[in-house]
Chain A
């Protein structure tokens, strides 16, 4: 069974702090994604990666960066956290099969004060 693990369930950070959200998957998937989920807005794609050291911007990349040094690990970085980045962050991975679904982690609830 695919497991996507996000290192923190809840995080509280101060405005201006640098924040790291970590995600690890155990199924050797090539593709990994970071979404944020907000009420009324659904899931919005921040960044994705289709291979080690490769990354592509999603729909809302401003204020975020990512790192993928190893295939199983995909990190989301908030360079200088702001209150409008308070949200639920979801990591996902998928293989390259034609009907390979997205497998999500259980999310990190980030609050920036």
Chain B
């Protein structure tokens, strides 16, 4: 079993819909949780970061972490065609200092249709 599981999709929704992207994990030591966005033919870029459990909101994006269920989510409100990308969850057990290793999910390919 992989440490981090993410449904690869593809996921296709109409513009304006609420999108929910999810990851599950098995390592209870994970405490740093990130979402990266990767546009076609580009490298991933950090979208959101959360520490431990709880919610974090940034504009149309909300990240949720439920450590008791080992489950993290990314919600996109009022989705736009420009949100079409692959979304990767990533997590680690230590601090960001030094060369802390991240474990990535497989990535979910999302398309927002105008």
Contacts and interface: CB of A to CB of B under 8 A. Distances in A.
B42 to A, nearest CB: 5
**How extensive is the interface on chain B, given as a class?**
20 to 34
B48 to A, nearest CB: 10
Given A40-B106, A104-B45, A45 B98 contact: no
A111 to B, nearest CB: 15
Of residues B34, B95, B97, which shows the largest number of chain A Cβ atoms within 10 Å of its Cβ? Answer: B97
Tell me if B's interface is mostly helix, strand, loop or mixed: loop
Contacts of A97: 96-97
A70 B94 CA distance: 27
Contacts of A98: 95-97
Interface in B1-40: 4, 6, 8, 34, 36
Contacts of B46: 101-102
Of residues B34, B42, B99, which shows the largest number of chain A Cβ atoms within 10 Å of its Cβ? Answer: B99
Contact of A31 (B36, B90, B98): B98
Given A99-B49, A101-B49, A31 B99 contact: yes
Given A102-B46, A104-B43, A107-B43, A43 B104 contact: yes
Contacts of A56: 99
A40 B104 contact: no
B43 A42 contact: no
B88 interface: yes
A15 B63 CA distance: 44
